[in-house]
Amino acid sequence: MRRQRFNCKSCEGGFDGYGGGMYCKGCYMEADMIKVQLMGENEELKDKIEFLKLCSPSPTTSTTSVAAYFSDVVLIALDSDNSPSEPPVQAHKAVLVNRSPVFRAMFENEEMEESRSGTVNIADVRYVALQAFVSYLYTAETCLNQNLACDLLILAEKYQVQHLKHYCQKFLVSKLNWDNALTTYTFAWGHNAEDVMDAALEVITDNMDKLTARLEYDDLVKKDPQLVIKIYETYLSKQVNTDREGDGERDSSSCKGSGSLNVIALGGRSDDGSSSG
């Protein structure tokens, strides 16, 4: 069958093909990319709608009685002295219990002080972060910066608000660079933010030649040596995988060096007793 010359209906450029093609390869590929992007946005909207839905009442409980049972509540941000830093943030138990299993357990237990008083004191949180946290529980939206994203991720982890935690992790990953990779990695490790930690490790292991020159690295060696070991383990794993992809296999002797490399990274001694310092 002879190849024919067609004009693309989208970009109007000419292309060679067979049969009655209407679009060139480039426009087809662009359309596929847009389709994938729209599908991703559609899934995010579905998750947002699911998050914002109030729980369905049980067969024996009406929506009205659920709302009446969970009355209003105030949340108070406490400073380092356990004193209220700002006026209370008002909310509704009916919303809190449907967004957070921690709040649900808190308010369903009539013996808990928060359930009896309708007041929740939250220590070590900035007032602006508490306001944003409560607002997100109602709207599933907030305007983030680096500090606020970290504060909200901590609250999301504490109160098991997975939708907010994912939202904050996505933001922090998008802002990752070499300048903040180590501090972000340390923060993510301490708050079970696996997506952020994996992304930060990717940035760090891509810049291993500059790692030991960072002041944050010296602090990490002193305070959290386990995190340094994790960095080198990840780096070695990437090297092994890269070599396997290039050569088809990896000499087993290269893997044996991981133990001594971990010691060297921490300024300790290798297996032969020599000092790395």
pLDDT (tens digit per residue) in 133-145: 999 999 899 999 9
Q: 């680096």: which residue's tokens?
A: 146
Task: Please tell me whether residues 160 and 229 are part of one structural domain.
Answer: no
Cβ pair 135, 92 in contact under 8 A: no
pLDDT band, residue 246 (cuts 50/70/90): low
Q: Residues 139, 144, 147, 151: what is their CA dihedral angle, to the nearest 10 degrees?
A: 20
Do 160 and 186 belong to one domain? no
Q: Decide: residue 15, CB within 10 A, 0-12 exposed, 13-18 middle, 19+ buried.
A: middle
| Residues 165 and 198 occupy one common structural domain | no
User: Mean pLDDT, to the nearest integer, of 4-8?
Assistant: 74
pLDDT above 70 for 227: yes
Q: Are residues 168 and 78 in the same domain?
A: yes
Regarding predicted confidence, which is higher, 89 or 269?
A: 89
Q: Does residue 154 sit in the same domain as residue 224?
A: no
Q: Read off the pLDDT of each residue in 54-75 and give the average, rounded to a whole number.
A: 53
Of 124, 154, 175, the domain-final residue: 175
DSSP 8-state code for residue 107 = H
Do residues 188 and 230 share a domain? yes
36 falls within a domain: no
Q: Do 137 and 185 fall within a single domain?
A: no
Confirm whether 34 is domain-assigned.
no
Residues 242 and 210 in one domain: yes
Tell me, yes or no, whether 123 lies in a domain: yes
Q: In this structure, are 234 and 170 located in the same domain?
A: no
| CB-CB contact of 128 with 155 (8 Å) | no
Residue 11's φ and ψ, nearest 5 degrees, are: -90, -10
Structural domain harbouring 84: 71-175
225 located within any domain: yes
* Tally of structural domains, the chain: 3
Q: Which of 109, 141, 175 is the last residue of a domain?
A: 175
Tell me: pLDDT of 244 over 90: no
Does 198 share its domain with 170?
no
162: domain CATH number is 3.30.710.10
Residue 109 domain-assigned (yes or no): yes
Residue 205 lies in a domain: yes
Bridge partner residues of 15 (DSSP): 6
Residues 135 and 185 in one domain: no
Does residue 39 sit within a domain? no
Q: Give the model's confidence band at 47: pLDDT under 50 very low, under 70 low, under 90 confident, else very high.
A: confident
Both 171 and 186 in one domain: the answer is: no
pLDDT band at 175 (very low <50, low <70, confident <90, very high): very high
Distance of CA 161 to the CA centre of its chain: 12
Q: Which pLDDT does position 121 carry in this prediction? A: 94
* Domain end point (choices 123, 142, 175): 175
pLDDT of residue 51: 77
In a domain, 237, yes or no: yes
**pTM value > 0.85:** no
First and final C-alpha spacing in the chain = 72
